[in-house]
């Protein structure tokens, strides 16, 4: 009985060891199609959902209630850089309608909401085979540094990047 248990453990462990050893390189297609790998990928997705729910519950009281609309699909990549006299925030919002971008700062908490519409070049009877370009709403929120003068910010949207300059309080 123990011999069979050891065999099962080795069979389950080997694909994991292979994955971790190859995490920085491209994985062979045979590994992607392996049923054991697919099982672990589903477990990973479920764990991501568990941690997301945990973080939402755990940290909900640490920021103001900003009442984000429901149904967001993503959170855009964002950089916040200290430029000396001001903070520069850059956020990737490729494909978003500039008129739909809403910036709100309340209690030193920055909230950005943007949306993109269904692509006009697509006809109703077109069948999408693969789609990665986001259609819908995105949101991002973050607590700003304490010395940020949130009332005096300036913003610009150019080439799919939203730039917000927030001066420091004097």
Name the helix (H) or strand (E) containing 156.
strand 154-158
DSSP state at residue 118: P
Domain with CATH 2.60.40.790 in the chain: 78-120+133-167
Strand partners, 157: 162
Q: Closest Cα partner for 115 from 140, 84, 144?
A: 140
Distance CA 168, CA 152 (A): 9
Q: How far apart are CA 95 and CA 132, in angstroms?
A: 12
What percent of the residues of the chain are helix, what percent strand, and what percent coil, each to the nearest 5?
35, 30, 40
CB 114, CB 101: distance < 8 Å: yes
Instruction: Choose between 47 and 103: higher pLDDT.
Output: 103
More confident residue, 154 or 24: 154
Specify the DSSP element, H or E, that contains 99.
none
Cross-strand bridge partners of residue 92: 161
pLDDT of residue 57 exceeding 80, the answer is no
Q: Is the pLDDT of residue 60 over 70?
A: no
pLDDT grade, residue 20 (50/70/90)? very low
pLDDT tens digits for 85-136?
A: 999 999 999 888 899 999 999 888 999 999 887 666 666 778 777 777 767 7
- The pLDDT of residue 112 is 93
pTM: 0.54
Dihedral sign of CA atoms 166, 148, 61, 44 in order: positive
Stretch (H or E) spanning 10: helix 2-21
C-alpha span between 56 and 131 (Å, rounded): 28
* CATH classification for the domain delimited by 78-120+133-167, as one of 2.60.40.790, 3.40.50.2000, 3.30.70.120, 3.40.50.150: 2.60.40.790
């Amino acid at each position: 009985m123990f011999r069979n248990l050891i065999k099962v453990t080795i069979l389950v462990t080997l694909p994991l060891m292979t994955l971790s050893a190859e995490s920085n390189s491209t994985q062979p297609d045979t590994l992607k199609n392996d049923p054991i790998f697919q099982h672990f990928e589903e477990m990973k997705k479920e764990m991501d959902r568990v941690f997301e729910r945990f973080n939402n519950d755990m940290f909900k009281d640490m920021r103001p209630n900003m009442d984000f609309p429901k149904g967001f699909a993503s959170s855009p990549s964002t950089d916040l850089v200290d430029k000396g006299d001001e903070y520069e925030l850059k956020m990737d919002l490729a494909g978003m309608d500039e008129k739909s971008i809403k910036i709100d700062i309340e209690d030193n908490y920055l909230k950005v909401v943007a949306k993109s519409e269904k692509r006009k070049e697509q006809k109703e009877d077109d069948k999408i085979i693969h789609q990665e370009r986001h259609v819908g709403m995105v949101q991002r929120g973050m607590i700003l540094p304490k010395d940020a003068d949130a009332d005096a910010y300036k913003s610009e949207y150019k080439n799919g990047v939203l730039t917000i300059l927030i001066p420091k309080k004097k």
